[in-house]
Amino acid sequence: METGNNENRLDANKFTPNYKILGDMDLMPYGKYKDMPMKDVPAEYLLFLSDNNKCNKSVRAYVTDNWERLCRAVNRNSHARWWEENGGTNKWISRK
Domain-located, residue 2: no
At residue 96, the pLDDT reads 40
Helices 67-85 + 43-51 axis angle, to 10: 120
Domain count, the chain: 1
Domain-located, residue 34: yes
Domain-located, residue 95: no
Domain-located, residue 8: no
Pick from 15, 14, 20, 12: nearest CA to 57: 20
Global pTM? 0.65
Domain-located, residue 6: no
Digit-coded pLDDT (tens) for 9-49: 655 556 667 888 899 999 999 999 999 999 999 999 999 99
Domain-located, residue 77: yes
35-44, 49-58, 80-89 — which one is most confidently predicted on average?
A: 35-44
Domain-located, residue 4: no
Range of the domain at 29: 19-83
Domain-located, residue 65: yes
Q: Which residues pair with 37 in a beta bridge?
A: 27
